Structure 1
Amino acid sequence: MSAHDHPNQFALLSQRRFAPFFWTQFLGAGNDNLFKFAFTVLVTYQLQVAWLPPALAGLVIGALFILPFLFFSATSGQLADKYDKTTLIRFVKTLEIGIMILAAVGFVLAQVHLLLACVFLMGLHSTLFGPVKFAYLPQHLNERELTGGNGMVEMGTFVAILLGNVAGGLLIALPGIGAQAVAVACIGVAVLGRVSAQLVPQSPATDPTLKINWNPITETWRNLKLAHGNLVVFRSLLGISWMWFFGAVFLSQFPSFAKEVLHGDEQVASLLLVVFSVGIGTGSLLCEMLSKRHVEIGLVPLGAIGMSVFAIDLYFAARGLPALPQMGLAAFIAQPAHWRVMADLALLSLFAGLYSVPMYALIQLRSPATHRARIIAANNILNALFMIGSSVLAGALLGAGFSVPQVFLFTGIANALVAVYIFLLMPEYLLRFIAFIASRCIYRFKVSGDENIPLQGPAILVCNHVSFIDAILVMAASPRPIRFLMDHRIFQLPVLGWLFKLGKAIPIAPQKDDPAAYERAFAEARAVLEDGEMLCIFPEGGITRDGSLGEFKGGMMKILQTHPVPVVPLALQNLWGSFFSRVHEGQAMVRPFRRGVWSRVGLIAGAPLDAAAVTPAGLRERVAGLLAN
């Protein structure tokens, strides 16, 4: 199915390849939280258990649920690569029914030990489902749909968590019949999940010959090494795990924050969870629109900036609140100062959604299909470790005398430092962010024919040269990273030169001026193609001074002789006359508003050409034809 067959991510809910899977994972996440929250309320308010005091109940239940992720993620990743994912989904949902029947017995008979065992088993259920969940999507969605599909799943997960918590709290509080109501609800939701799993289409095994290593320790280490084989993917795993660290700090402190700082009751704590969940869901859904239906990792730095800004502002918003008697929901909302707190929480979580969804999509897109599930399993292990680390650090800060708002401030500052470190370590994120800003805030950038830019394998992109930011705009049009062959003089520019060096652009000097640099540039360009990457060349040899298309030089033919890869002609339109072109007496970057603000520019990608059919003159004619469109 073509990516253009549906208008947006919501249309996926009408398609069998996505809808049954979405509702299966939605019901599973909802049931997890219905069960856990009802159990937490039961042992906190209704049962008196000497060996499980209310202060420890939430911590013990959370720890038991997350424990299987540490021990069994590696095994579940292998199973998801070796077997049909649909078969595994149906098995896991059948297992859920059995666990919920045990849990129903535990609720009705008030057997805390049995319910704790069921918490561990539901953690195991989620551990088995995790790698299947994220490895399923790239098998059924194309590159244009991955961001939207992940956004829908992320939104659905947080909505399900919210609804599960609300339902669990309401049902267990029903006088006289709370435990029975929870028991019926847990079994009913599990059965609905199994029914929806039956409609999930087949998802063939990606590595059916894989031999399972049942040792979780050695396999966990092997999975981490496997993920580390692709540094972009591995560092994205660390980035996602940091997001879970960040989010866990806030989620774990909501009850204390509501009571000690905001002077609100349990309803206020629930409101904070609602605001946070709605923010995450909104940010996740916005990703497809902002990314223009590509995997746009330029959103990740934007998300990181927003997370820090609003986490830090939350500290200042909460610092000066007056000490009032404990408030209910209506009294809390009536205070204008509290709206800033809720706005900070909503925006903080919205930007967290913008941060995480592109990273998940990038991992799915760039992980080899044969061991994608094992890499996602490695991510689950890291997520669990980071969440445990966040609990330890938050506890240590509170024990050292930090207030809850100060913990939020510390987390916001730490997030900024981690983000700077990650983006300097992985310049692709930073460069894509700059390309994102340039193509959406400086210009109104329209891309046509981008389906002609190959998603896999080596290729040469050939483009006219109009301005100093041509490379940035070409980068914005491609879902894949591109290495650029560029005039060595552009590297001497103060800011752009640093950016192009960061992006590993290849400087080339004329052969007569520096023969060694000329040959070195071609050797590096060939190495790019040998690695299966894309190379972009501006064959005019320099930026146009009058807006016309210059002669195409024959340097690219030297590369095609040894590496006959597809050649994709590109045409940048309407950039001549803009701030970054040489329109003003041969100079660029003077009179910034001569074209107004947010002027229209575009890029058209033509059909790929076979290397044997390429000539400089013929390629120039192709680009000229695209410019005339």
Structure 2
Amino acid sequence: MAHNQLDLLRQRRFLPYFFVQALGAFNDNVFRQAIIGLLGYLAVSPQDKTLYTNLAPAIFILPYFLFSATAGQIAEKLEKSKLIRITTAMEIAIMSMAAVGFVTQNMVVLLIALFATGLQSTLFGPVKYSILPSVLKPEELTGGNGLVEMGTSISILIGMIFGGLIFAVAGAQGPWVAGVAVILLAITGNLVSRAIPRVEAGAPDLRINWNPIPESLAIIRLARKQPAVRNSILGVSWFWFVGTVLTSNLPTYAEVNLGGTPTLYVFALALFSIGTGAGSMLCEKLSARTVEIGLVPLGAFGMSAFMIDLYFARSGAATAAGLTVAGFMQQPGSWRIVMDLVGIGLFAGFFVVPLFALIQSRTPRSELSRVIAGMNIQNSGFIVLAAVLGIALQRYLHWSIPQVFLALAIANVIVAIYIFTIVPEFLMRFLSWVLVRGLYRLKLHGIEKNVPDEGAALIVCNHVSYMDALILAASIPRPVRFVMYYKIFNIPVMSWIFRTAKAIPIAGAKEDPELMRRAFEEIDAALAEGEIVGIFPEGALTKDGEIAPFKSGVERILERRPVPVVPMALRNMWTSMWSRRDGRLRRMRVPRRFRAHVDVAAAEPLDGASVDAQTLEAKVRELRGDAA
């Protein structure tokens, strides 16, 4: 079992797929940069070069609009490893055509091959992300997506450098070198794809609608069905908008505002790409191997903070020109710009990786490929909008590139606030993440093995502090509906978090029998929907650090719906400032040490049809041991 995302790179279920997607991104960018290199080699006029460089991205992205709906259906219907082999075989044929274009120096053939490359990427896109939930456990989704995003970022960067150097290094042999390189990379990708294990189709009986217009509308509606998924897709599309504005302006920014040569542009792009890769990789550690969408607000506001600082770091034109990387680094304020570019990328990784993981974890397997295809259509629209808007702001409003970056930072804050307002779960998870990670260092025992990946389950745990529900939520990969005493549920500020997390308030029969009845109805409805419900059968916080007898409410739940029961225990929480350790003073005490270690342990699920409160209490006591 993998305990670190890098362990996935040793496993056949992930490694061949990882290399295939990385090789695909690498080859796409080698091909596209080699086309630009060929234009320079042919010494075409500046007008023609501008025409081709503006036309190429449009040709590449057009298939996403035309064929994403069909690609999503095909990815849903076919066995996924077979589809990957088909798309990599297509890549060999396409790159063979591109090689002919390079050798004959025929731009028309190259642009046709570029359109075909866009088509191949359109077909690969839905399977690229929909395969992950089938080969990874829920707790591995964030780490797996982080690896994919890191691999993609670095592959794009290296591919651009390699493709850009072909004609500079090979000279007259450049067309042949470019042609051979793209074919060999395509063949390598196809050979590696044959090692990907079989992954069953999500919906093998799906009937394909070949009419792209109504089907495009249908999959967009499908992608908008769940509010959290819909707004995660909006977030991913916004990520592509921000990335397009930044990366499309970096060449001019590096020359005009940083005073650099083309190598300085590559350096600036490398900083952004390395930052994105690092942020993507850090997501698993920061989220403790859960789908932690609390990182999304952190990513959004972090991106804006660094973009604003980038504006103030260099808001006007450079005072020097023709600077190499070394020359730039000797200029005043250069390190600040370096940190800003890395910081933007770092927080971009925090922003986008949890969104992909949430989309994959919340979407039914039989719909995921089509939802990803719908997302690709929307992403394409945002990319085109970013390109058009960037040109309009500079050409017609005469904004400088730093002004565009500042406007982008402000727009990013506005979009983030909009998303977090309509889906408060994002901000709720952020606040709970800050509270839990700021106060504790969690150590998990048996969570991956014993909490079911899907289906209904009941979590039972000892109740030590006001933070218990948040700690368990941060430890369990799936969303949990917690049942909690209504007075805890109504604590100011925390109440908003609990409500947003769809916690279920409950009262004693003598306090509020109607609230108790509604709570049991809501618990049963949640279990009927296949959700996880978490309860604290003691009925109240411990007053002395010991586990109180479990009440019979847990038996009432299981009599009605005998789902699997997972015993869990919190250890070392009694010294928390959120417990009732100092009841005599009737106030909370400061913890004995900052960021104390807290253990969260889970035992094997028990049959809900045959357990009672006493059995569950004994199991939780055994799990907790003496570590109160």
- The TM tier, using the shorter chain, reads over 0.9
CA contact (8 A) 1:581 1:588 kept: no
Tell me by how many angstroms 1:45 deviates. Answer: 6.2
Tell me by how many angstroms 1:109 deviates. Answer: 2.0
Tell me by how many angstroms 1:615 deviates. Answer: 2.1
Question: Secondary structure, in 3 states, of the residue corresponding to 2:301?
Answer: helix
**2 CA distance for matches of 1:577 and 1:55?**
66
| Aligned match of 1:415 | 412
Alignment match of 2:237 (pick from 235, 241, 255): 241
**1 CA distance for matches of 2:411 and 2:354?**
21
Q: 1:549 to 1:290 in 2, by over 3 A?
A: same
Alignment match of 1:157 (pick from 142, 152, 158): 152
Q: 1:427 to 1:72 in 2, by over 3 A?
A: same
Question: Secondary structure, in 3 states, of the residue corresponding to 1:369?
Answer: coil
Tell me by how many angstroms 1:124 deviates. Answer: 0.6
1:580 equivalenced with 2:578 (yes/no): yes
**2 CA distance for matches of 1:140 and 1:219?**
28
Q: Which amino acid aligns with 1:454?
A: P
Q: 1:292 to 1:64 in 2, by over 3 A?
A: same
**1 CA distance for matches of 2:587 and 2:27?**
58
Q: Which amino acid aligns with 1:551?
A: P
CA contact (8 A) 2:563 2:609 kept: no
Tell me by how many angstroms 1:101 deviates. Answer: 1.8
| Aligned match of 1:537 | 535
CA contact (8 A) 1:581 1:587 kept: no
Q: 1:379 to 1:537 in 2, by over 3 A?
A: same
| Aligned match of 1:616 | 613
CA contact (8 A) 1:282 1:353 kept: yes
Matches within 5 A, 1:549-588: 549-585=547-583
| Aligned match of 1:62 | 57
Deviations 1:143-176 (A, max 9, x none): 2333222222211111111111111111122322
Tell me by how many angstroms 1:225 deviates. Answer: 1.7
Deviations 1:312-343 (A, max 9, x none): 21111122675223322221122241111111
**CA RMSD across the alignment:** 2.1
Question: Secondary structure, in 3 states, of the residue corresponding to 1:219?
Answer: helix
| Aligned match of 1:328 | 324
* Range with bigger deviation, 497-506 or 27-36: 497-506
CA contact (8 A) 1:279 1:346 kept: yes
**2 CA distance for matches of 1:278 and 1:621?**
50
Alignment match of 2:514 (pick from 503, 516, 526): 516
**2 CA distance for matches of 1:439 and 1:445?**
9
Q: Which amino acid aligns with 2:464?
A: V
| Aligned match of 1:39 | 35
| Aligned match of 2:100 | 105
**2 CA distance for matches of 1:168 and 1:378?**
31
CA contact (8 A) 2:24 2:189 kept: yes
| Aligned match of 1:446 | 443
Tell me by how many angstroms 1:226 deviates. Answer: 1.8
Matches within 5 A, 1:406-555: 406-450=403-447, 451-555=449-553
| Aligned match of 2:87 | 92
| Aligned match of 1:133 | 128
**2 CA distance for matches of 1:47 and 1:130?**
35
CA contact (8 A) 1:314 1:341 kept: yes
Q: Which amino acid aligns with 2:479?
A: P
Alignment match of 1:601 (pick from 595, 598, 602): 598
Tell me by how many angstroms 1:277 deviates. Answer: 1.3
| Aligned match of 1:74 | 69
Deviations 1:48-73 (A, max 9, x none): 268x6333432211111111111111
| Aligned match of 1:123 | 118
CA contact (8 A) 1:434 1:472 kept: no
| Aligned match of 2:181 | 185
Tell me by how many angstroms 1:44 deviates. Answer: 5.2
Q: Among the aligned pairs, what percent are the same residue? A: 46
Q: Which amino acid aligns with 1:438?
A: L
**2 CA distance for matches of 1:549 and 1:202?**
48
Question: Secondary structure, in 3 states, of the residue corresponding to 2:172?
Answer: coil
1:213 equivalenced with 2:209 (yes/no): yes
Q: Which amino acid aligns with 2:334?
A: H
Matches within 5 A, 1:18-29: 18-29=14-25
Q: 1:366 to 1:588 in 2, by over 3 A?
A: farther
CA contact (8 A) 1:97 1:190 kept: yes
Question: Secondary structure, in 3 states, of the residue corresponding to 1:210?
Answer: coil
Question: Secondary structure, in 3 states, of the residue corresponding to 1:613?
Answer: coil
Tell me by how many angstroms 1:267 deviates. Answer: 1.0
Tell me by how many angstroms 1:119 deviates. Answer: 1.2
**1 CA distance for matches of 2:589 and 2:510?**
35
CA contact (8 A) 1:580 1:588 kept: no
Tell me by how many angstroms 1:79 deviates. Answer: 0.9
Tell me by how many angstroms 1:611 deviates. Answer: 1.9
* Range with bigger deviation, 382-391 or 438-447: 438-447
Question: Secondary structure, in 3 states, of the residue corresponding to 1:319?
Answer: coil
Give the gaps of 5 or more residues in structure 1: none
Tell me by how many angstroms 1:269 deviates. Answer: 0.8
**1 CA distance for matches of 2:63 and 2:381?**
12
* Range with bigger deviation, 464-473 or 90-99: 90-99
Tell me by how many angstroms 1:588 deviates. Answer: 7.0
Q: Which amino acid aligns with 2:323?
A: M
Q: Which amino acid aligns with 1:151?
A: G
**2 CA distance for matches of 1:586 and 1:280?**
51
Q: Which amino acid aligns with 2:75?
A: A
Give the gaps of 5 or more residues in structure 2: none
**1 CA distance for matches of 2:594 and 2:188?**
53
Tell me by how many angstroms 1:586 deviates. Answer: 5.3
**2 CA distance for matches of 1:494 and 1:479?**
27
Tell me by how many angstroms 1:425 deviates. Answer: 2.6
CA contact (8 A) 2:580 2:588 kept: no
Question: Secondary structure, in 3 states, of the residue corresponding to 2:469?
Answer: helix
**1 CA distance for matches of 2:465 and 2:586?**
8
Tell me by how many angstroms 1:285 deviates. Answer: 1.8
**2 CA distance for matches of 1:54 and 1:351?**
34
Tell me by how many angstroms 1:33 deviates. Answer: 0.6
Q: Which amino acid aligns with 2:159?
A: G
| Aligned match of 2:268 | 272
Deviations 1:331-356 (A, max 9, x none): 11222411111111111101111222
Q: 1:45 to 1:311 in 2, by over 3 A?
A: farther
Q: Give aligned pairs, total.
A: 623
* Range with bigger deviation, 100-109 or 52-61: 52-61
Question: Secondary structure, in 3 states, of the residue corresponding to 1:225?
Answer: helix
| Aligned match of 1:374 | 370
Q: 1:586 to 1:110 in 2, by over 3 A?
A: farther
Q: Which amino acid aligns with 1:596?
A: R
Deviations 1:69-125 (A, max 9, x none): 111111111111111222222222222122212212222222111211111111111
| Aligned match of 2:388 | 392
Q: Which amino acid aligns with 1:548?
A: E
**1 CA distance for matches of 2:40 and 2:387?**
20
TM-score for the superposition, normalised by structure 2:
0.94
**2 CA distance for matches of 1:587 and 1:216?**
69
**2 CA distance for matches of 1:419 and 1:445?**
29
Deviations 1:172-205 (A, max 9, x none): 2232222222122112212222222232222232
Q: Which amino acid aligns with 2:399?
A: F
